[in-house]
Structure 1
Amino acid sequence: MAASRQALFSQLTASDWDGFLKGAEKEGLRVDRNGYIAQTPHPVALGSALTHPRITTDYSESLMELITPVCRSTEEMLASLRDIHWFVHQHLGDEVLWSASMPCELDGDPSIPIAEYGNSHIGQLKHVYRQGLAVRYGRMMQSIAGAHYNLSLPDSFWQKWQQQLDNNQSLKDFKSDQYFWLIRNFRRHSWLLMLLFGASPALDASFVRGMKHQLAPLGKDSWFGRQATSLRMGDLGYHNNAQSSLNICFNELKTYTETLDRAIHTDWPEYQKIGTRRGDQFIQLNTSILQIENEYYSAVRPKRTTERGEKPIQALDDRGVEYIEVRCLDLDPFSPLGLNAPQVDFLDLFLLGCLLRDSPRIGDEECERLDDNYKDVINEGRNPELRLTRCDQTTPVMDAAREALDGLGELAEQLDHWQGGTRYREALAVQRDKVEDPALLPSARVVAAMEETGRGHRDWTLALSREHQKALQDAVPDERVRADFERMTRESLEEQRAMEEADKASFAQFLENYLAS
């Protein structure tokens, strides 16, 4: 009988293990002193949102995105994220960076300014894409913030692992297959992340004004899901009826890129009715189910760093999977950075565990079951009566969580032995505590804090955001940090100007060539 992958991994030595490569992309709304979405442009002192490597915007001009470089440790990554936050907070004036995933007070779509990126062709492409999101889905759901966690393993590990598996593929193909092996198990177990890290059970009443919903009142001008863990990932958050028809396949790279490509080249009747222009103004890139790959909403993505103007599908097909992007994480409102160290360490452990479990391909029936489990934990994760369906059996959600965490115990011990210390066992213990005492779940803590203070979502989050801002502003980083960010600001503005000067042809011609490539 062949040895299990876990057994093969345990045969490696500390010298075979070179740790994780990791990074984060953390979103956050700029809000004014009263807790309303900011109407001001992206601060010039923070550089060009188009070309700055650390500070950009997501959908809205008010929705900032802070990006760490690739780091070798949790401490390095969080230190980098802290430095970025520090510099941002030096230039926000009276504004505050919102610490929750569900947005501040809004006044409908017109209150959410779409991000601007200047007059270069790439800048206009990014803006028109966002205009397309607005006409397709409205702007409200685009105001939601989250954290993306990026993880890869170095080639030195993949080469050792390939030897352990006695595999003779090219390294590029081997890595891609192994990352999809991981992704399949991520889909099987991602409900656990929504239970342990879901932190958006409540929202401001302005977000659902005029909508039908089943939320309950909580404090002033707020609603919440009584047992919910993450409204952000539920039907009120990121969802898309057209995309429900896609059946994107996560079994292997070839079928993944093929189904995505098909979606980008398949017209959708409702989008055809809208058209691509309103007079001379472009209002969406095309009338397909997806304008571009990034429009596809999923809890996890295989990724490859792209060159300027290169499509993600092209990069994946040409050079294979480079890293995994976990996209289902709510902001931790209790952390100034939106992430915390035990959470990051557990994510490393969880993702490595996904690589080491058996991972058969996912058929249609299992796919539906996995989606149902995921949605159930999002909507009812704190309900002690909730049961998850696995094969032909149902299991109480907390029992399933205990089993999943217990299955990572041996791996945590092995990593701690190799690296020294107890960080992975401690991260695992933090999650076990949440399962044994559900009051420690972030979603439960948010509801309890709002009830204890008597504040609604806006006022509670604004007060917490101000506390985080003061702590970050008062930090005293190395003077080189300020100098580095001021340099990046100058260089990003110069790079944007150079791009705008270099683009001579019309944007319409550029867009036609881009979509045809």
Structure 2
Amino acid sequence: MKKSKYYYSGKFGIERETLRVDSQGKLAQTPHPFGSDEHITRDFCENQIELVTPVCHSIDEALCSLAELDRRAREVLAEKGESIWLYSNPPHIESEDEIPIADFTGDHSSKRSYREVLQRKYGKKLMLFSGIHFNFSFAEEYLRELNTENEDFHAFRDTLYLRLYKQLILHSWLLVLLTAASPCYDASLDKDGMSGMIISRYSSMRNSERGYWNKFLPILDHRSLRTFTGSIKKHIVTGSLYSASELYLPIRLKPKGVNSLENLAAGGVDHIELRMFDLNPSAPLGIDSRDLKFAHLLILYLLSQPDFDLTPALQEKAAAEHKNAALLEPDIKLLERGAAMIDEIAEYFSDNEEAQQIIGFEKNKINSNACFSKTSMNYAL
């Protein structure tokens, strides 16, 4: 893949979900205190904050923006005796009554209707799992350089993002292996009235079989953006999905402006979203910059790989490997593949010293995870 001066450029954005808790560490029962601020909004429930950075021109800039939003949010919450729960798994919950659906009204009342559908379909507790979404788009100048055959630019762009989407779907397990950070949870997540910490069999519950997945695996047609959006529409028409937002896969293709299937079909792909990052409680903002920078390198590496047919069988395999990577002791073969893939990425970026440091940071995680898996440690609760 050609490495022009625009190669590492692009647009970057971060969305971070967290829960609001009171001084006792319980879910806050107060209304969302940030009004209609588009950068400090709600997700599923009234006590779940989503910080949304503006579009930035680097990961560092996006993290600076996230830090400012985090500071503003914490200041307001501190005045109310509340704080941010910086874990992907929720705190102790007495009952689902403590999980009020986000109170969207007026022009946004449809958002509440959608969340009521999710409540009936999946229950409220599942919706409390929180994480980081990473949004990325290539610099337009770079895409135009790649378009050597002078194809229609919008068609070329859509085809390129769809090809990248398939690669990321097939390799999402690698980012789960590297960023899983939620093995412990409160027993109340299993049953009302229960309490106490449990170390689960998962390193990331929200990415595991217990996490964000549809009741079935939606098989999609990736031959073109038209067939892709059409296959999603079929699931909606048959009632399998309420809307495209209910498509719980770890990667999304997003349009510019309002995120709707109609916008995506009409206007094409604006950016790609990676949705698998756990909140990292050891990082002040919930995410380590090196993890996001590795994700960017992975995107660039996968763009260099040949296209392929993402068959139904491969879609099933991708989902299974994603869930396998979320185990506390993932399959050793998956760890070995992860190490080999990181070596390939290191070779691809052999001329970039900063990239080598980031890749080395991630490789150490794989090596540590492999050693852990081989020991087959048993936890005594």
Matched, 1:85 2:73: no
Matched-pair identity in %: 28
Q: Displacement, 1:235?
A: 2.5
Question: What secondary structure, in the 3-state scheme, does the structure 2 residue paired with 1:413 have?
Answer: coil
**Which residue is 2:30 aligned to?**
40
**Which residue is 2:248 aligned to?**
297
**Which consecutive residues of structure 2, in runs of 5 or more, have no partner in the other structure?**
none
Structure 1's 249 and 332: CA in aligned 2 closer, same or farther, altered over 3 A?
Answer: farther
**1:349, 1:411 within 8 Å by CA — same for their partners in 2?**
no
Task: Give the partner amino acid of 1:423.
Answer: E
Larger radius of gyration: 1
Of 142, 162, 182, the residue aligned with 1:180 is 162
Task: Give the partner amino acid of 1:209.
Answer: K
Q: Displacement, 1:253?
A: 1.3
**Which residue is 1:64 aligned to?**
49
**Which residue is 1:355 aligned to?**
303
**Which residue is 2:212 aligned to?**
238
- Counterpart-to-counterpart distance in 2, 1:379 and 1:438: 11
Of 130, 135, 159, the residue aligned with 1:150 is 135
Report 1:277-356 matches (<5 A).
288-307=239-258, 312-356=260-304
Task: Give the partner amino acid of 1:36.
Answer: K
Which structure's relative contact order is higher, taking Cα pairs within 8 Å and 6+ residues apart? Answer: 1
TM-score, scaled to structure 1: 0.69
Matched, 1:435 2:372: no
Of 16, 41, 53, the residue aligned with 1:26 is 16
- Counterpart-to-counterpart distance in 2, 1:199 and 1:251: 35
Q: Displacement, 1:27?
A: 0.3
Question: What secondary structure, in the 3-state scheme, does the structure 1 residue paired with 2:44 have?
Answer: coil
Structure 1's 37 and 440: CA in aligned 2 closer, same or farther, altered over 3 A?
Answer: farther
Q: Displacement, 1:210?
A: 6.4
**Which residue is 1:465 aligned to?**
none
Q: Displacement, 1:371?
A: 2.2
Q: Displacement, 1:131?
A: 1.1
List structure 1 segments (4+ residues) > 4 angstroms apart after TM superposition: none
- Counterpart-to-counterpart distance in 2, 1:13 and 1:240: 40
Of 403, 418, 440, the residue aligned with 2:340 is 403
Question: What secondary structure, in the 3-state scheme, does the structure 1 residue paired with 2:65 have?
Answer: helix
Structure 1's 334 and 18: CA in aligned 2 closer, same or farther, altered over 3 A?
Answer: closer
**Which residue is 1:112 aligned to?**
99
**Which residue is 1:254 aligned to?**
226
Of 179, 190, 193, the residue aligned with 2:172 is 190
Q: Displacement, 1:410?
A: 3.3
Question: What secondary structure, in the 3-state scheme, does the structure 2 residue paired with 1:233 have?
Answer: coil
- Counterpart-to-counterpart distance in 1, 2:327 and 2:247: 22
Q: Deviations over 1:157-183 (max 9, x none)?
A: 0011112xxx34211111111111111
Matched, 1:263 2:235: yes
Query: How many positions carry a matched residue from both structures?
Result: 376
Question: What secondary structure, in the 3-state scheme, does the structure 1 residue paired with 2:206 have?
Answer: helix
**1:176, 1:320 within 8 Å by CA — same for their partners in 2?**
yes
Matched, 1:221 2:196: yes
**Which residue is 2:184 aligned to?**
202
Q: Displacement, 1:233?
A: 1.4
Q: Which has the higher helix share?
A: 1
Task: Give the partner amino acid of 1:235.
Answer: E
Q: Displacement, 1:113?
A: 0.6
**1:181, 1:251 within 8 Å by CA — same for their partners in 2?**
no
**1:18, 1:157 within 8 Å by CA — same for their partners in 2?**
no
- Counterpart-to-counterpart distance in 2, 1:18 and 1:190: 21
**1:61, 1:113 within 8 Å by CA — same for their partners in 2?**
yes
Q: Displacement, 1:236?
A: 2.1
Structure 1's 33 and 251: CA in aligned 2 closer, same or farther, altered over 3 A?
Answer: farther
TM-score, scaled to structure 2: 0.92
Structure 1's 40 and 325: CA in aligned 2 closer, same or farther, altered over 3 A?
Answer: same
Task: Give the partner amino acid of 1:359.
Answer: D
- Counterpart-to-counterpart distance in 2, 1:200 and 1:252: 36
Report 1:91-130 matches (<5 A).
91-92=76-77, 93-118=80-105, 120=106, 122-130=107-115
**2:213, 2:249 within 8 Å by CA — same for their partners in 1?**
no
**2:209, 2:323 within 8 Å by CA — same for their partners in 1?**
no
Question: What secondary structure, in the 3-state scheme, does the structure 1 residue paired with 2:76 have?
Answer: coil
**1:116, 1:123 within 8 Å by CA — same for their partners in 2?**
no
- Counterpart-to-counterpart distance in 2, 1:224 and 1:136: 27
Q: Displacement, 1:369?
A: 2.2
- Counterpart-to-counterpart distance in 1, 2:143 and 2:56: 18
Structure 1's 440 and 260: CA in aligned 2 closer, same or farther, altered over 3 A?
Answer: same
Question: What secondary structure, in the 3-state scheme, does the structure 1 residue paired with 2:147 have?
Answer: helix
- Counterpart-to-counterpart distance in 1, 2:323 and 2:223: 21
**1:402, 1:435 within 8 Å by CA — same for their partners in 2?**
yes
